[in-house]
Amino acid sequence: MKSKTEAIIISSMNLGEADKLVTIFSLDRGMLKGVAKNARKSFKRFGAGLESFTLVRAHLYEREHQELARIESVDIIEQHASIGSDLGRAASGAVMLELVRELSPLGERNAQAFLLLSHILHLLDEGEEPLFLLNIFKIKFLSLLGYQPKLDHCLSCGIQPKGEMVFLGMKGGILCPACMVSSGEPQVTLSPGAVGFYYQALRMEMDKISRLKPSSSIVRELDRAFSDHTFHILGKRLKSTEFLKAVLPLGY
């Protein structure tokens, strides 16, 4: 069956002599893996359209019970070329794509998550601050996939956060200092400012998101909390965070 859908290229790798194995996040079909036949030879059908971050219209051919679709051709809608040409943008974008690949189920449509990624990559390409955008992406993406942390009350006694709270990645929630029994391990804490920003960002429409101007300490706090949270969701660290830490050390 032939179909076409808007899609963002998550990754592509060489397969055999001339083909490419491509992972896309699509508007109509969610995450999908496909083979682009002769992609390394046919500039006409693919051009530069299989580079990571590119927004394309993908023409697909699928047969039932076949795991891999065939990607017949792509038309570039937005190249997002400036993401790849700047280390900070590339590193932040790489974390976004890895989160999508690790968390989105294959073949499950999630139009809101697609539109979110598409919008964020557009802003990243335009030069908006990479760590800020990564934060916004994590806040909204995890919520759209049902992994939204609950930061509005202490998990144990229920009080609303006043001072600094301790974030528990495993539970995706917070504890107040009175309920926290210290294990001596370093704790991930969240200030009231970080919690406030989190809910503001969660509710704000994407076309107004650039109005938010969190301090770098808020960005840092939320980044630590989210890294801890995704570690517990995935059972592993994201590979691309090492790259991010190396190129944007000020963010940590």
Site string for Zn ion, 102-141 (x = CB under 5 A): ----------------------------------------
Q: Minimal distance in Å, beta carbon 139 to Zn ion?
A: 23
Closer to Zn ion by CB, 81 or 159: give it: 159
- Asked if 179 interacts with Zn ion (CB under 5 A), we say yes
Binding region for Zn ion (CB under 5 A) out of 115-123, 156-164, 197-205, 221-229: 156-164
* CA-angle at 43, arms to 17 and 71, nearest 5°: 70
SS3 233: helix
Residue 156 within binding range of Zn ion, rule CB under 5 A: yes
By CB under 5 A, the count of residues binding Zn ion is: 5
Compare residues 57 and 153 and give the one whose CB is closer to Zn ion: 153
Contacts of 185 (CB under 8 A, 6+ apart): none
SS3 per residue for 83-132: HHCCHHHHHHHHHHHHHHHHHCCECCCCHHHHHHHHHHHHHHHHCCCHHH
Return phi, psi of residue 102, to 5°: -75, -30
SS3 for 40? coil
Does residue 154 interact with Zn ion by CB under 5 A?
yes
- Per CB under 5 A, which region of 11-19, 133-141, 173-181, 186-194 contacts Zn ion? 173-181
- Contact footprint for Zn ion (CB under 5 A): 154, 156-157, 176, 179
